[in-house]
């Protein structure tokens, strides 16, 4: 069994939980996910099965789209509602939508983020959350991310009793972006503590929410011998121009031969080579020839 499953990850499950459950359902160990979703986040989680595990890195290059909410007035140690509260500032009046929109607009483009202590980023061989749970702090490497869109979705809601304000948002961003950190930073720019109060991933790896399958749906399909939930690896490689191979060229490509520019008939730096309806490999331009970059199948 080979292909990509657009899984709907429910809240309460880790991404690793999902992989383990699918290994049991599909009776195979060769299963991997592309892009971790925190336990309290639901939505699209592309899962690669069999030879499709070779395209995990390519799936992760696609932009991601999230819909969520940020609450102003308090912050937590994890930057979401899972962690203990660390700061609270009771808001006496709501922050204006003009202020919120103006700050969100300044947070598009290239941003530098420092991963939260409660994250799976590794430092000196240990995950940051392991340091955090042990009460230790460690210097965290910053990273650059691209925020293509960060927009308020509706009128904010203000709770006079708790002195908090909640804003729904949608964000389109590059891989490696911590949306909870983005939410916290928005609060900082507005001069108030903040926390990400909900989050759903709408799109990842070129798959959107409408294409996802729940575990219940997958279980039923597998029991019925229906494998329509499997998408071809081509879905992960849509950014590359496709070159159709003849029988003659395929006989050489599957053995790793180089191709002349005239045989490829493309000027792109990387091309996807397709044979009999399936992408078999990626080739990269090196001087006047194209050389193998990544082989997915030789059959």
Catalytic residue IDs:
38
Q: What is the DSSP letter of 161?
A: T
CA-to-CA distance for 213 and 46, rounded, in angstroms? 10
CA-to-CA distance for 201 and 171, rounded, in angstroms? 10
Q: What is the DSSP letter of 231?
A: B
What's the length of the chain?
A: 299
Question: Max alpha carbon distance in the chain (Å)?
Answer: 74
CA-to-CA distance for 167 and 157, rounded, in angstroms? 7
* Alpha-carbon distances, residue 17 vs 5, 11, 94, 225 (angstroms): 15, 11, 40, 24
CA-to-CA distance for 180 and 201, rounded, in angstroms? 13
Burial (0-12, 13-18, 19+ Cβ within 10 Å), 58: buried
For the chain, how big is the Rg over CA atoms in Å?
Answer: 22
């Amino acid at each position: 069994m080979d292909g990509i499953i657009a899984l709907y990850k429910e809240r309460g499950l880790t991404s690793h939980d999902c992989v383990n459950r699918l290994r049991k359902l599909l009776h195979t160990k060769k299963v991997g996910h592309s892009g971790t979703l925190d336990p309290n986040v639901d939505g699209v989680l592309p899962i690669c099965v069999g030879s499709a595990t070779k395209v995990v890195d390519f799936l992760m290059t696609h932009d991601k789209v999230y819909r969520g909410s940020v609450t102003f007035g308090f912050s937590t140690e994890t930057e979401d509602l899972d962690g203990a509260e660390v700061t609270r500032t009771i808001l006496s009046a709501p922050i204006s939508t003009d202020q919120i929109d103006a700050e969100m607009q300044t947070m598009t483009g290239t941003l530098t983020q420092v991963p939260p202590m409660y994250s799976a980023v590794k430092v000196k061989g240990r995950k940051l959350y392991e340091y955090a749970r042990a009460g230790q702090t460690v210097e965290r490497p910053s990273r650059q991310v691209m925020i293509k869109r960060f927009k308020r979705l509706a009128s904010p809601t203000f709770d006079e009793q708790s002195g908090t304000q909640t804003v729904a948002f949608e964000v389109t961003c590059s891989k490696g972006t911590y949306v909870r950190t983005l939410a916290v930073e928005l609060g900082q720019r507005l001069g108030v503590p903040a926390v990400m109060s909900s989050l759903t991933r709408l799109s990842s790896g070129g798959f959107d929410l409408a294409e996802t399958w729940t575990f219940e749906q997958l279980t039923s399909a597998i029991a019925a011998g229906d494998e329509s939930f499997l998408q071809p690896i081509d879905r992960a490689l849509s950014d590359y121009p496709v070159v159709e191979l003849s029988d003659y060229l395929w006989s050489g490509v599957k053995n790793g031969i180089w191709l002349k520019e005239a045989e490829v008939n493309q000027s792109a730096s990387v091309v996807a080579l397709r044979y009999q309806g399936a992408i078999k490999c990626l080739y990269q331009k090196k001087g006047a020839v194209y050389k193998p970059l990544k082989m997915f199948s030789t059959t």
